[in-house]
Amino acid sequence: MTEAVLTGAWFVVRTSLPLWRTRDNPSVTYAPLPDGRVVDTVRFTRRGRPGLIIGLDSPQPTGGWAWRGVSLLTRLTVSRWQVLAAGDGWAVTVFERTPFTPAGLDVYARTPALTAAQEREVEAALDGLPAAQEFRAALFSPRHDGR
């Protein structure tokens, strides 16, 4: 998936990442830079307080992306990830383990919840993705306000 397709806001609507069990309203916004990298802004709330993690995604020669945080706490962390599948208003991403997070899978949507049709499309896509199978049993839906 190119940075043009990634551009804009995505809501994390299903995930295997335990981090999202204690944080609400997770979303990621991608903004391409002229050099091919992408600014990656993760927003969430925790106990009603807003949280923010900013990183830079660099395209990798073999496909996928390498994320590196820009803050003092995240600058030394690199997370490799890729888009496994995408459809109309949804995408499935998988990421490698870091010192702070396990490997995992996220399902993104352009809205805080998938439509019934998108749910069917995502399930069909997951069925056909060998790289997704180890994460399927752990998938859950993070809480989004108004949902």
* pLDDT tens by residue, 69-123: 887 666 677 889 999 999 999 999 999 998 888 999 999 999 999 999 999 999 9
**Cα–Cα distance, 117 to 99 (Å, whole number):** 36
The model carries a pTM of 0.91
Taken as a whole, the chain contains a residue count of 147
Domain boundaries, the chain: 3-136
pLDDT digits (tens, 9 = 90+) for 25-59: 999 999 999 999 999 999 999 999 999 999 999 99
Q: Which of 16, 18, 2, 28 has its CA nearest to residue 109?
A: 28
Superfamily of domain 3-136: Calycin beta-barrel core domain (2.40.128.20)
